[in-house]
Each structure stands twice: as C-alpha cells, then as structure tokens.
Amino acid sequence: MTALTVYIPCDAAALSLGADRVADAFRREALAHGVSLEIKRTGSHGMFWLEPLVEVATPQGRVGFGPVRPEDVAGLFDSGALAGGDHRLRLGPVADMVWMQQQQRLSFARCGVVDPLSLDDYAAHDGFKGLRRALQISPAEVVEEVRASGLRGRGGAGFPTGIKWKTVHDAASDRKYVICNADEGDSGTFADRMIFEGDPFMLIEGMAIGAYAVGASKGFIYLRSEYPHAAKTMARAMELAEQAGWIGDDAFGPGKHFHLEQRIGAGAYICGEETALIESLEGKRALVRAKPPIPALHGLFGRPTLVNNVLSFAAIPFILAEGGQAYADFGSGKSRGTLPVQLGGNVKRGGLIELAFGITLREIVEGFGGGTASGRPIRAIQIGGPLGAYITESQLDLQMDYEELATNGAMLGHGGIVVFDDSVDMAKMARFALRFGADESCGKCTPCRIGATRGGELVERIVAGERIPQNIALLRDLCDVMAAGSLCAHGGLIPNPVLSALNRFPEDFSPVAHKTAAE
C-alpha cells in the first residue's frame, strides 16, 4: 500500500473555509485508492486567500496545493498530483513562494510548519532553546538581552520591553506575576490567534523566560472568549508543557516554581488595556485604573506584575536563543526587530506577514496584498485597529516604524492594516469609531463615556447639514478634550480615526455627498 503524508491546517481561518471537510475527503479518497494516509494538522502559514492550504510530503520536501475544497480532493488523487504530477492547485514548495521568501520570519517561523501540540516537533525546530539559555544565565542577564534587542511593546504604545522587565525585576516583593495580554480585539488583527493555534509552546516559552527574569512564580494568559479553538489548543499545550517539566513545580530549579493559568475574558474591548485586564483577573468589573502606580510596581493583587502582549512574549525565545543583538540587527532607527503585519479589508491577498521594521506601506498593500480585491483604487488605509488613524493613498510610501507613523499622525498598534477602496464613506467610518468607542468604554471617566456618544451625534448633524461649520468646530473641541482628559488610551485614541477622516477626507462630511450617495 502506498504511503502518503499530508499537512492540513487546524487554524480557525482554515476551519471556517472547510479544512476539516478537506481532511475527511482525503481519508475517503485514500481508502478508495488503497493509500496509507497520515494527516498532520498544523497552524496556518498566514496566506488566507489560499486556505485551506494542503501540503504533501515528497522526497523534495513539502509541496503545497490551495485553496483546496473537498470536491477537489478526488482530482488530486486521480491526476497523480500527490505523487509529483501537475495540477491547477499546485503551488510548489510553500517555503519557496514569493510571499514567504520576501519575509523575515522570526516569531512565525514555525506557524504552518509544526504540529502545534507536538513537543518533539517544537523542540526539533529550535523550541525551548531560548529558555534553556535563559536558565544558564542570571535573571539580570536575561533582562539585559531583552534591553539590548530593542524590543518594544507590540500592543500599541511601543514602550521599551527591557525597561518594563527591569522595573519588575528590581521591584522588591514576596510575590510577582506575569500576565500575557491576549485580548486581541482590534479589527483586522489575528496574529495572537495564529500563535495560539499554530505555535502555542512559543508563547509558553516566552512567558517562562519572562517569569524567570523578573522572579515571578505565577503567570496568567488572558484570552478573549471569541477564540474557542485557540483556548482549547493552549489549554492542552499548557498541560503537555507542565508534564514535560517546562512549567510547573521546580521548573526553574529546585524550589523555583512557575505555574501558568489561562483565563477567558467575556469579550470587553477595554480589557486590552492592562489595568482593566488586571481588574478583570481579580474578579472585578473591568474598569481602568488611574496611574501611577504602574502595574510593574503595583499590579495584580497589589504585587509587581509584568504585562506584555502575545507578540512581545513571542519575540522573546528568539532573542534569548540567538542574542539580543541578533534581533536588533533587524529593523530601522528606534524600531528594532520584526513586526507581524496583519493585512485585511478590501485586499486581494490578505494574511499574516512578518517583516523587519522599515518596509513601506506600499510594499505591504500593493506588493504582498496585490491591491484591492474590488479592483477599484485605494482610498484609505487604517493602521492600528479601530482607533487608529486613516491615511490616504498618497501616504503609502510611509515606512512602517513607530516614529515615522507617529510623525504622520498614525500609530502602529498591534500591526493591523485594513484597506478601503474609493467607495468608502469616511464620515460613516468616523461615526463608527465614535459609536464603537462609546459601546466599549468602561465608563469610568467622563471624557470617554460622554464624549464618544456626543461625538457620534455631532457627526450625524454634520452630514445632515445642520450648522456645519459650528458643529465641526465643536467636534474638534470635543476630540481635544477626549485626547487630553481621558483616563486611558481608549478615550484618548478615539479622536484619531475621527480627526484623520475629517482632515484628510473633508468632502465626505457634507450633506451633498450623502445626498448623492443616497440617489
């Protein structure tokens, strides 16, 4: 009997497009053709327009086919494509595809390659190399490697990770905590989910290194409830890691424990803010805390707490395995290392791209993305989630780094990029940002709680033609108050999409534009 090994993603994006049904079709056809079949489930490579992407093991390596539908499987067997023959869905070796070749994959090198729940597979692809090295040096030396790497927070603010780690490391306390903020709520972002479903041991390793470096004995992963597949995969990965001794009792040596728990949030966007997340973990309503004190000194249950997001922890194993300087060698200016970009919206080829800082938006949107899916001209791009600024097509040559984006009134955020063609109504987008901000406000501070609601009403009046100059002036004043007076970044950032839409697309804020659209 002929033997065949195929790799089929178990990533949620692939599952939503029928990956399980494709796997069932392979089983049926293998049985009918007398083929001994082994199916290995992996994460996704991030080429979502090709999902479900199936790879077949050959003497020359893994050859990809995609997108594969259940009805395509019989043809793959009958044509001999699985044994090296040609087929319309044949992509060749996935690693040789231009999309993959042009990337610098450090954190996502294993996604789509390994079985996410195989410790042997993870170890065979340099897994736990960073943790092994960390345990051979002192916690202070680990912190120094992170500082030397230039890694900055991948959640939005871009704060230097090494400084945060040193603050927690230096804090005196009988107990410290490590928290992974996996409350990935920005529209157009999915990198966290891909790691949970495709390479969960990497996150566990990164958190373990962080716990060792700062002296924490307990860690929490705070995951949003909308990710059931991710939660299930991570729960099992944590069990396997503890059974193998990478976490749990004596994980860092005799008497040096590190226990890890996963907690599922109820879907509040505000829990992406670290102090609201901590409140939620403590069993309270998710309200933002005033700062100071900062969580690094007074966090979970009043103890020093290291809070990083998934992409920050995901960068740590490489940094410790290869050295901080090896990571810093990627990137430009003060933006070091690589950035996982999540490209979505009206784009031909959406997906996950990991690139060194310094690439331009044009290279991402037009080069990797292939332009709009509709074929219409690009009009606007939003970077950094629903509270990120809108930029125009003329700004596509901006470099993707913290400083250049900030200089142009934009922010990097979690690395999400959403593309819009020339059919978009930017007044509606501004109104959506305000309504979203109002719906997701924790309600603790007045500028955010009331400002977002009143702002939405002002946009309605403007597009209806009511006292346009006066209401635009009032909207601008309201945005100034929200930016300067809100307790946290949620209220402080709501003006970003509103003002960028108003300043860069003023023609959409007129009753004439909306009357014409209605006609």
E strand or H helix that includes residue 259:
strand 259-264
For residue 68, what is the DSSP state?
P
Instruction: List the end-to-end C-alpha distance of the chain, in Å, as a whole number.
Output: 66
pLDDT at residue 400, rounded to an integer: 87
Does position 515 have pLDDT exceeding 60, yes or no?
A: no
Q: Residue 84: which pLDDT band, with cuts at 50, 70 and 90? A: confident
Q: What's the mean per-residue pLDDT of the chain?
A: 93
Which pLDDT tens digit goes with each residue over 215-265? 999 999 999 999 999 999 999 999 999 999 999 999 999 999 999 999 999
In this predicted structure, the answer to whether residue 519 has a pLDDT above a threshold of 70 is: no
Q: Is 410 left (phi over 0), alpha (psi -120 to 50) or beta?
A: beta
Phi-psi region of 302 (alpha: psi -120 to 50; beta: other; left: phi over 0): left
pLDDT of residue 254: 92
Residue 177: pLDDT band with limits 50, 70, 90: very high
Mean pLDDT of 442-447: 90
Per-residue pLDDT band at 80 (split at 50, 70, 90) = confident
Residue 488, CA distances (Å) to 287, 289, 295, 390, 452 in order: 10, 8, 14, 21, 14
> How confident is residue 95, by pLDDT bands cut at 50, 70 and 90?
very high
Which of the four pLDDT bands, split at 50, 70 and 90, describes residue 513? low
Which of 308-317, 339-348, 403-412, 457-466 is predicted least confidently? 403-412
For residue 517, pLDDT beyond 50:
no
Confidence check: pLDDT of 511 > 80: no
Q: What is the model's pLDDT at position 401?
A: 87
Per-residue confidence (pLDDT) for residue 407, from 0 to 100: 84
Chain centroid to Cα 472, Å, comes to 35
pLDDT tens-place string over residues 475-500: 999 999 999 999 998 888 999 999 99
The answer to whether the beta carbons of residues 432 and 382 sit under 8 Å apart is no
Which amino acid is it at 115? D
According to the model, what pLDDT value does residue 341 have?
94
Query: Tens digits of per-residue pLDDT, 322-365?
Result: 999 999 999 988 899 999 999 999 999 999 999 999 899 999 99
Give the pLDDT confidence of 254-280 residue by residue, as tens digits: 999 999 999 999 888 898 889 999 999
Q: What is the pLDDT of residue 370?
A: 95
| 286 phi/psi in degrees, rounded to 5 | -75, 85
In tens, the pLDDT along 155-175 reads: 767 889 999 999 999 999 999
Q: How many other C-beta atoms are found inside a 10 Å radius of the C-beta of residue 454?
A: 14
Position 1 pLDDT exceeds 80: no
Q: pLDDT tens digits, residue range 115-128?
A: 999 999 999 999 99
% of the chain with per-residue pLDDT over 70: 98
Distance CA(102)–CA(100), nearest Å, equals: 6
Exposure on the CB side of residue 351, measured as CA atoms within 13 A: 28
pLDDT of residue 187: 84
For the segment 252-261, what is each residue's pLDDT rounded down to a tens digit?
999 999 999 9
Res. 137: pLDDT tops 70: yes
Residue type, 135: L
The pLDDT value given to residue 408 = 82
> Locate tokens 């108050």: which residue?
481
Of 20-24, 58-62, 508-512, 513-517, highest mean pLDDT: 20-24
Spatial CA neighbour of 342 closest among 441, 415, 257: 415
